[in-house]
Amino acid sequence: MDISRKQRKTLQKLDQRLSRQVNGKKKIKERARRDNRLVVALKKGQLPYTPIVMSWLSHKLNKPSKQITQADVSLVLSEK
């Protein structure tokens, strides 16, 4: 049985939608756990942090990691 291209694409979209619904719930928990772990790392150290922490800070602050200052880190810590 040969399935047409349109049917394959439709089934693929349905599968992707279901995957997002199922995996999205897991990812919310994983993001929260990662945020907690990285906040602990922020409290322990000072600039410069490890690349993982700097990347996370860069995403949270919406600025390049080279432009992150200790005042920015204090701002993130005060939010948590």
Domain holding 70, by residue range, is 5-79
pTM to 2 decimal places: 0.69
19-67 confidence digits (pLDDT tens):
999 999 999 999 999 999 999 999 998 888 899 999 999 999 999 999 9
Total number of domains constituting the chain: 1
Pairwise CA distance, residues 60 & 68, whole Å: 11
Distance in angstroms (rounded) separating the CA atoms of residues 47 and 77: 14
